[in-house]
Amino acid sequence: EAQVTQNPRYLITVTGKKLTVTCSQNMNHEYMSWYRQDPGLGLRQIYYSMNVEVTDKGDVPEGYKVSRKEKRNFPLILESPSPNQTSLYFCASSSLGAGSNIQYFGAGTRLSVL
Amino acid sequence: DAKTTQPNSMESNEEEPVHLPCNHSTISGTDYIHWYRQLPSQGPEYVIHGLTSNVNNRMASLAIAEDRKSSTLILHRATLRDAAVYYCILRDGFSSNTGKLIFGQGTTLQVKP
């Protein structure tokens, strides 16, 4: 079954404690992306990757890092989380190319930074 | 990216058809019209997409106006499970450099039993 898997689903942490949210896809997709969703602001792109070792900033990259060492994995790293990073995070993947490509989303990670 | 306009909310009765409208008057010739939905406590999921012609799949139908300035997502028989936020999104077919989907506020669909 085609899947994008995020872990953990829920996470409560404290300010400054480094954390990583993992994302894995089993569809051999070149493209992967992270979004955050906040009330009233909708979904906004944080970082994206067109392929292994190729990453770029989205609209709201401050305070986040990503890596793409393998095609299937795209972890989101918060080196020093702050309360304004409390949000619902989604990972997505798709094949590359024309605008008809479908994006598949993970179930989400709800992060609270105290 | 061209912008879309959708009603904030709509209501439907279970087992009845639902027509969800979307206006995109500034659509360009290479923009695909995509629909995604987000069920409560879940990630967005793809529903349907089209370029110029009407499209059908197992989930829904997409009716695209002849001038492409508007489209309608049709759920033929709404079920309680269809209660979700529905997003109408335009994607340029030739410059998906960031692959980003621009989610607006969408339409919150309530389905009454």
Digit-coded pLDDT (tens) for B74-85: 999 999 999 999
Number of C-beta neighbours around residue A1 at 10 A: 4
Nearest CA to B110 out of B3, B5, B7, B22 is that of: B7
pLDDT greater than 70 at residue B2: no
Is A50 an interface residue toward B (CB < 8 Å)?
yes
Give B31's contacts in chain A (Cβ within 8 Å).
99
Cβ-Cβ contacts under 8 Å for B54 (sequence gap 6 or more): B61, B62, B63, B64
pLDDT greater than 70 at residue B13: yes
Task: Count residue pairs from A and B with Cβ separation < 8 A.
Answer: 69
Nearest CA to B2 out of B35, B36, B22, B25 is that of: B25
pLDDT tens for each residue of A83-102: 999 999 999 999 876 556 78
Res. A1 pLDDT band, cuts 50 70 90: confident
Q: pLDDT value at position B93? A: 63
pLDDT greater than 90 at residue A16: yes
pLDDT greater than 60 at residue B96: no
Mean local confidence (pLDDT), B39-65 = 94
Which three-class secondary structure state does DSSP give residue B55?
Answer: strand
pLDDT greater than 80 at residue B30: yes
Q: Which amino acid is at A35?
A: Y
Cβ-Cβ contacts under 8 Å for B66 (sequence gap 6 or more): none
Q: pLDDT value at position B102? A: 82
Q: Do the beta carbons of residue A1 and residue A103 sit within 8 Å?
A: no
Mean local confidence (pLDDT), A76-89 = 97
Q: pLDDT value at position B37? A: 97
- Inspect the interface and report whether the beta carbons of A97 and B103 lie closer than 8 Å: no
Distance CA A112, CA A110 (A): 7
Which residue among B34, B43, B96 places its CB closest to the CB of A106?
Answer: B43
β-sheet bridge partners, residue B18: B75
Number of C-beta neighbours around residue A47 at 10 A: 23
Q: pLDDT value at position B91? A: 81
Distance CA A15, CA A7 (A): 20
Give A59's contacts in chain B (Cβ within 8 Å).
100
Q: pLDDT value at position A37? A: 96
Q: For chain B, what is the mean pLDDT?
A: 91
Mean local confidence (pLDDT), B39-49 = 94
Q: pLDDT value at position A62? A: 97
Mean local confidence (pLDDT), B45-68 = 95
Mean local confidence (pLDDT), B86-108 = 79
**Separation of CA A7 from chain center:** 11
Q: pLDDT value at position A2? A: 85
Q: pLDDT value at position B63? A: 98
- Inspect the interface and report whether the beta carbons of B49 and A50 lie closer than 8 Å: no
Q: For chain A, what is the mean pLDDT?
A: 94
The owner of tokens 């999921």 is: B45
Q: pLDDT value at position B29? A: 86
pLDDT greater than 90 at residue B103: no
Mean local confidence (pLDDT), A42-51 = 92
The owner of tokens 């997505």 is: A92
